Amino acid sequence: NQERSFFMVKPDAVQRGLVSEIIGRFEKRGYKIVAMKMVTPSRELIEAHYDDLRSRPFFEGLCKYMSSGEAPVVAFVVEGKGIIKVGRDMIGVTDPLKSAPGTIRGDTGVSIGMNSIHGSDGVEGAASEIPLWFSQDEIANWNKTA
Ligand code: CMP
């Protein structure tokens, strides 16, 4: 069950200086970061990323916000046992107000839109999101020995 999952610190959290706080939680938990980059995503990339939400009423606002360039995002890939499920548990639910204290959104989220972080919602999501954001040569092959 060595899995990989895709995560992204959203513009609101970059704006509030929470990049190290958020990524640090995965490091402290012993997970291995295998890719990471700061990017101002294009509208096209965000639309592709949220493709399954195209029919939702908030799709337009979501895409506009995520690709506004008001602040960049920090995209990263984490590898380790059960990371897809554990990552979702670490993040909390969509609405920060419904996320438990101790979760990333419960501790740092502002609103449903400005909820600090995105994480893959399952095996399929991770499998499509990782190659959408990272090329093969942007993913590091290294052994975590500590
Ligand atoms: P995320 O995990 O990135 O996946 C889709 C995002 O849509 C979600 O987090 C929210 O930030 C955003 N979103 C905006 N409005 C809504 C809404 N009404 N319901 C669910 N998600 C929403």
Is position 145 within any domain? no
Whether the CB of 46 sits within 6 Å of ligand 1? no
Give the nearest ligand 1 atom to 91 CA.
2
Per the DSSP assignment, residues forming a β-bridge with 79 are 4, 32
Per-residue pLDDT of the chain (146 residues; tens, 9 = 90+): 799 999 999 999 999 999 999 999 999 999 999 999 999 999 999 999 999 999 999 999 999 999 999 999 999 999 999 999 999 999 999 999 999 999 999 999 999 999 999 999 999 999 999 999 999 999 999 999 99
**Rounded distance from Cα 35 to ligand 1 centre (Å):** 24
pLDDT of residue 1: 75
Q: 10 Å Cβ neighbour count for 9?
A: 26
Please give the Cα distance from 96 to 114 (Å, whole number): 9
Structural domain count, the chain: 1
Q: ipTM of this complex > 0.90?
A: yes
Q: In three state form, how does the secondary structure of 82-128 look? A: CHHHHHHHHHCCCCHHHCCECEHHHHHCCCCCCCCEEECCCHHHHHH
Whether the CB of 120 sits within 6 Å of ligand 1? no
pTM over 0.90: yes
Give the nearest ligand 1 atom to 50 CA.
5
Give the nearest ligand 1 atom to 10 CA.
3
Is position 109 within any domain? yes
Q: 10 Å Cβ neighbour count for 63?
A: 20
Is position 96 within any domain? yes
- What SS3 state is found at 74? strand
- What SS3 state is found at 45? helix
Tokens of 66: 């995520």
Q: Could you tell me the residue range of the domain that residue 48 belongs to?
A: 2-138
In the sheet where 117-119 sits, what is the strand order?
A: 32-39, 73-81, 2-9, 117-119
Is position 19 within any domain? yes
pLDDT of residue 43: 98
CB within 8 A of 146, min separation 6: which ones? none
DSSP one-letter code for 4: E
Is position 24 within any domain? yes
Is position 144 within any domain? no
Q: What is the CATH number of the domain that holds 97?
A: 3.30.70.141
Is position 21 within any domain? yes
Is position 91 within any domain? yes
118 catalytically annotated: yes
Whether the CB of 94 sits within 6 Å of ligand 1? yes
